[in-house]
Structure 1
Amino acid sequence: MKESMSYKIFKTCNAVFLLCIVFITLYPFLNVVAQSFSSEAYINSGKVNLIPKGFNIDTYKTVVKDNMFWTNYKNTVVYTLVGTAISMFLSTIFAYALSKKRLMGRKFLTMFAVFTMFFNGGLIPNYVLINSLGFSNSMWALVIPGAISIYNMLIMKSFFENMPEELEEAAAIDGLSTYGILFRIILPLSKAVMATMVLFYAVGHWNSWFPAFLYLDQKEKFPVTIYLRNMIAAATGGTSAGATSADNLTQISANIKSVTMVLTILPILTIYPFVQKYFVSGIMLGSVKG
């Protein structure tokens, strides 16, 4: 069919509008990347926009040459994988149980879970609890206390509630147990919401630094976020273990924030394209019911 003039104008305006949104969204990130490769003089004078000026990689060299950086980076990968696996397992079985209307005490458990979104024990009681459980200075202090995100669990619960009950009834007639139905029928049909939740949990664990700051004492167990935080503090404070000269230290202090942002977000940017196609559908399908 031949397109009308008004429809062509609409498509043109829509394309221009979306391109503007893309530019507004990408500009801050591209600016940060450009600053991470620019020299100290251009950064301090505010002349760096989208293209690096005075190309310089001293800060990158300082960071990647430090063995502690790679140790902490490995720790972050381990914490993210283990934490995401634990969070997905607990959230899935909790959400699936709450999605069943036949569950005794279902409303109470749901309200109890929602209550924890608004109230918690506080920093000091949490710290005392972690120490009393023997989790202090271990990975479990980072992955266990916040293992379940109630927001994510509620999205999964709504998604499971929208699954046809006939599927489970047919599987039960064929002899599958409750766990068999969940792992062999429900989860294979829930790839969209599962991929979305994996992304949410992985990003949360990857960017987390405050629990590690509280509960970890040994540098060898720090995640990379703590390493980069300490490097920012050292550079802005005037000392740095990686800097070998005053000029090098000045360069590091000028663009350390940009470098740390790039190094932190790079793995997430690598993973995101593989789960992006599930992202919107997972959120929309899980938000049909409250």
Structure 2
Amino acid sequence: MSMTIGKKSTGERAFDLLNVVFLSLFAFTAVYPFINVIVVSFSTPAAANQYGLKLWPQETTLEAYKIVFSNKMIWTGYANTIFRAVLGTAMNVLFTVLCAYPLAKRYLPHRSGYTTFIVFTMFFSGGLIPNYLLIKELGLLDNRLSLILPGLIAAFTMIVVRNFFMSLPEEIEESAKIDGAHDIRILFFIVLPVSMPIIATISLWYAVSHWNAWFDSLLFIQSPDKAVLGNVLRKIIIEGSPQFQEYDNYDPAKPQNLVTPDIIRAATIMVATTPILCVYPFIQKYFVKGVMIGSLKG
């Protein structure tokens, strides 16, 4: 009697092959638009205007990046976005932790009511006009704090952090209280050091949200020197920056035309998205662990 345990049948091997082919094609369709932007940003106008798949630059040039980095708007947007991402993420994480920690305690009076009230805000909000009027009455128009304070605590993120805190052994905190530690000391010196997976996860969420945000800046910020990178990117891609008007008329017969508006837009997209992409490898090991543990308890 032959043993066939562990050996795949022909049908199973065919299914695995189809799975690999289908998922590879699906992954390619998701990644290719980004690859196309990279290739176009490094290409000459003649190469960028060619038909067909663009998987690598045929004629490489850095002219578009030189033009983008010479634009003062890019550097101003970078400075404002970095300021917003750093300060905003730090405040988001701090206040999310301060809100989630007490709600993780079963002895907190009316804990379910507080949690229900916070979850309610995930489904219903005041709307665009009331939010604008609120920011105006608070005197935060054209103030960088208007980009941080309205979204100081994300309800969903707070629930995830609360669930993570509920999964921690209560004996750790009880032993600290016996030694005379108060709640603030327990939180910052005992709970947070063992909660780095969830802290890294929500830091990534908040940082990406701040880096990509642009609509609130469009509403609340009027000064060009306070515009974030998303608004600068929008101005260049959709509206067209006045500094790039000279590149609008591309003539293939003139070799001195080294770029086109499309190439400049591609280079601008790469300049805007590359920094936040570089963050992922450093905290990827915490990401999955933090999300899975934070979703165990409700």
Among candidates 160, 168, 171, match of residue 163 of structure 1: 168
- Deviation readout 1:179-205 (Å, 9 max, x if unpaired): 111001100000101000000000000
Q: What corresponds to 1:137 in structure 2?
A: 142
Q: What are the within-5 Å matches in structure 2 for residues 1-290 of structure 1?
A: 5-6=7-8, 23-235=28-240, 240-245=242-247, 246-247=249-250, 251-290=259-298
Inter-partner Cα distance in structure 2 for 1:280 and 1:25? 21
Inter-partner Cα distance in structure 2 for 1:211 and 1:197? 21
The answer (yes or no) to whether the contact 1:30–1:50 under 8 Å persists in 2 is: yes
Match of 2:69, as an amino acid? Answer: V
CA RMSD of aligned residues (A): 2.6
Inter-partner Cα distance in structure 1 for 2:61 and 2:245? 15
The answer (yes or no) to whether the contact 2:236–2:265 under 8 Å persists in 1 is: no
- CA displacement at 1:212 relative to structure 2: 0.4
Distance 1:249 1:138, change over 3 A: farther
**3-state SS, counterpart of residue 107 of structure 1:** helix
Gaps of 5+ in 2: 251-255
The answer (yes or no) to whether the contact 2:233–2:269 under 8 Å persists in 1 is: no
- CA displacement at 1:42 relative to structure 2: 4.2
- Scaled by the length of structure 1, the TM-score of the pair is 0.88
Match of 1:136, as an amino acid? Answer: L
- CA displacement at 1:225 relative to structure 2: 1.1
Q: Out of 39-48 and 83-92, give the one that drifted further.
A: 39-48
The answer (yes or no) to whether the contact 2:78–2:229 under 8 Å persists in 1 is: yes
- CA displacement at 1:49 relative to structure 2: 1.9
Aligned residues: 284
**3-state SS, counterpart of residue 134 of structure 1:** coil
**3-state SS, counterpart of residue 242 of structure 2:** coil
- Deviation readout 1:196-251 (Å, 9 max, x if unpaired): 0000000000000000001111111111111111111343xxx6314445339994
Match of 1:175, as an amino acid? Answer: G
The answer (yes or no) to whether the contact 1:159–1:193 under 8 Å persists in 2 is: yes
Inter-partner Cα distance in structure 2 for 1:240 and 1:218? 17
- Deviation readout 1:137-169 (Å, 9 max, x if unpaired): 011010110111111111101000011011110
Inter-partner Cα distance in structure 2 for 1:20 and 1:230? 34
The answer (yes or no) to whether the contact 1:37–1:53 under 8 Å persists in 2 is: no
Larger Rg: 2
Gaps of 5+ in 1: none
- Deviation readout 1:28-50 (Å, 9 max, x if unpaired): 32222112222344444433421
Inter-partner Cα distance in structure 1 for 2:174 and 2:42? 59
Distance 1:130 1:151, change over 3 A: same
Match of 1:263, as an amino acid? Answer: V
- CA displacement at 1:288 relative to structure 2: 0.6
Percent identity, aligned pairs only? 40
**3-state SS, counterpart of residue 117 of structure 1:** coil
The answer (yes or no) to whether the contact 1:44–1:254 under 8 Å persists in 2 is: no
Match of 1:269, as an amino acid? Answer: L
Q: Out of 41-50 and 265-274, give the one that drifted further.
A: 41-50
